[in-house]
Amino acid sequence: VQLQASGGGLVQPGGSLRLSCAASGFTWNHYAIAWFRQGPGDKREGVSCTSARDGTPNYADFVKGRFTIFRDNTKKTVFLQMNNLKPEDTGKYYCATADSRSDSRCGLGNWDYDYWGQGTQVTVSS
């Protein structure tokens, strides 16, 4: 299983970024994929995920209405569109995956995932 995260960068408050997580090495529609983040001095926290079964999204409360997750099945890539970014969104963003073909809903706990990508840095600052 391999996950390659990209798309991070420096953006001003109110700006947008789109993160990508390119996946390989597993059966695409058997695995849920999630985004987590870890800010300086913070614990890693779940941001959003998309279920294996039908791509149903799940969002942490602090990103609802601002972030959108979606899967491109032909490219085996999951995207996280982040709008109206705030300084508190700063951190390293990781994508993660686990076999969850029997689950109708994906989780946002670290314990829900078995494989992790290397992360991409997002900095929101003026």
Secondary structure E strands in 12-119: 17-24, 31-38, 45-50, 57-59, 67-72, 77-82, 91-99, 115-116
90 near 82, Cβ under 8 Å? no
- Is residue 121 scored above 90 in pLDDT? yes
Residue 107 to residue 55: CA distance in whole angstroms? 12
The alpha-helical segments, DSSP class H, found in the chain are none
Instruction: Tell me the one-letter amino acid at 11.
Output: V
Residue 114 to residue 120: CA distance in whole angstroms? 18
Instruction: Tell me the one-letter amino acid at 56.
Output: T
- 3-class SS of residue 6: strand
116 near 44, Cβ under 8 Å? no
For the chain, percent of residues with pLDDT exceeding 70: 100
Interval 5-20: pLDDT, tens: 999 999 999 999 999 9
- Is residue 102 scored above 90 in pLDDT? no
Interval 41-62: pLDDT, tens: 999 999 999 999 889 999 999 9
- Is residue 70 scored above 90 in pLDDT? yes
